[in-house]
Amino acid sequence: MNRHGEACVRTRPTSARDLVATCAEIIRLEKPGCGRAALALARAFLEYDLMVYAAPDRARRVRGVTALYEAILRDCFRLGEVHVTREGDGVACWLPPGVDMPNFWRQFRSGMLRMPLRFGWQAFQRLVPYDTVARKLHHQYADMPNWYLAAIGVEPERQGQGIGGALMQPILQRADNAKLHCYLETHRPDNVRLYERHGFDVLEQAAVPEHPIPVWAMLRRPR
């Protein structure tokens, strides 16, 4: 973090030019009005393979993805921390040590139980096997006190500029200071490489039964 409170990261070059330095001011979301942050997450995940597989119809996918990430954001805001860029085009949602994945009551409070209605039953059923495997991996590998990265996303036009890495830095630094692990799951190979650059290691790449999208479990040990 620099003296102005900005998280500064460097991304790998995509051409012969020098590394591109990116500075993004990262702040903690302090108000429950999460509309801008929810929109950024929805836009970030709208064309992810898992979401397209679940809901090929784009209009239905927009409704479902928006509702899903509104619920995740609401749960993390209430029980953990949400960090955003000053412009609101990037969001990281964390759950702290001692807070498990949502149970039925938390799902009800956050709005996750509306998923079958918003996605449609067929699309929702396609997401269930992935969620089942992700939960199994979570309980298998994240049995120590840890910060859990429930969701992180950057709007498409701002991706590839180091914002995702900057969004993670406040919690990664705090976890290091407190000697705590950080844990996440992802279903995108490009994201695996991003997380590896920030100290996460792949614990397992798990297949999802009758499902084309695998899931990676990743752990970052304190430095």
* Residue 112, pLDDT score: 72
Among 87, 118, 101, which residue's Cα sits nearest to residue 6? 87
Q: Residue 23's pLDDT is what?
A: 57
Q: Which helix (H) or strand (E) holds 218?
A: strand 215-220
Between CA 219 and CA 71 the distance in angstroms is 24
User: Mean pLDDT across the chain, nearest whole number?
Assistant: 86
Within the chain, which residues score under 70 in pLDDT? 1-23, 32-34, 103-111
pTM: 0.86
CATH match for 6-220 among 3.40.630.30, 2.30.110.10, 3.90.79.10, 3.40.50.720:
3.40.630.30
**What are 144-194's pLDDT values in tens digits?**
999 999 999 999 999 999 999 999 999 999 999 999 999 999 999 999 999
Element of type H or E holding 45? helix 35-45
The reported pLDDT for the residue numbered 117 is 84
Distance CA 170, CA 167 (A): 7
pLDDT for 169 equals 97
- The pLDDT assigned to 24 comes to 73
Return the half-sphere exposure (C-beta side, CA atoms, 13 A cut-off) of residue 155. Answer: 13
pLDDT for the residue 58? 96
pLDDT of residue 1: 40
- Give the separation between CA 193 and CA 200, rounded to whole angstroms: 9
